[in-house]
């Protein structure tokens, strides 16, 4: 298969294009690796949120993770079916449920965290630890800037 032709000079160093290309490649790699163990990035997001911030309603989990409410129900059903989360009556409002992480969910979160660390190490292999920290700081600053727009 012939090598891809070099992009035009105007495109080659265009930050928006580079960010998009790298985001797509990173997402593809993470999705493939997580899928191989029967998971996806939203499992990690929900389990992380529950472990870090405690029980939450579906609406609160949606706000915390950025997952659409309409997708959250199906996602929580998957996690509950595997005993990673549990729904329980909200002690402050018995008319609604809160979602809690189970012991099995904590174990699964630890497994996924190790896998994600491997993925991140592979993605960021060209960078030293200091360069990785700088990249993260720069991306966080860019995110904060873009959130205010």
Q: 87 forms bridges with which residues in the sheet?
A: 99
User: Domain spanning 24-147: which CATH class is it, in words?
Assistant: mainly alpha
C-alpha span between 115 and 82 (Å, rounded):
19
Residue closest to 74 by CA, chosen among 100, 49, 46:
46
Question: What is the structure's pLDDT at 143?
Answer: 94
Residues 6+ apart with CB under 8 A from 42: 65, 67, 71, 75
C-alpha span between 97 and 109 (Å, rounded):
22
Q: What's the whole-model pTM score?
A: 0.87
C-alpha span between 73 and 42 (Å, rounded):
12
C-alpha span between 79 and 73 (Å, rounded):
10
Question: What is the structure's pLDDT at 41?
Answer: 95
Mean pLDDT, consecutive 10-residue stretches, the chain (149 aa), reads: 77 92 96 96 97 94 94 96 94 86 98 97 97 97 92
- Helix, strand or coil, per DSSP, at residue 37: coil
């Amino acid at each position: 298969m012939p090598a891809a032709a070099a992009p035009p000079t105007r495109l080659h160093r265009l930050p928006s294009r580079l960010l998009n290309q790298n985001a797509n490649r990173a997402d593809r790699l993470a999705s493939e690796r997580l899928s191989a163990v029967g998971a996806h990035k939203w499992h990690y997001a929900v389990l992380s949120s529950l472990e870090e911030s405690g029980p939450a309603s579906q609406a609160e989990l949606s706000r915390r993770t950025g997952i659409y409410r309409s997708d959250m129900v199906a996602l929580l059903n998957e996690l509950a079916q595997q005993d990673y989360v549990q729904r329980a009556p909200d002690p402050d409002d018995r008319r609604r449920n809160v979602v809690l992480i189970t012991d099995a969910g904590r174990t699964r979160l630890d497994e996924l965290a190790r896998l994600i660390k491997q993925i991140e190490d592979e993605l960021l292999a060209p960078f030293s630890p200091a360069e990785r920290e700088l990249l993260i700081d720069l991306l966080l600053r860019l995110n904060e800037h873009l959130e205010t727009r």
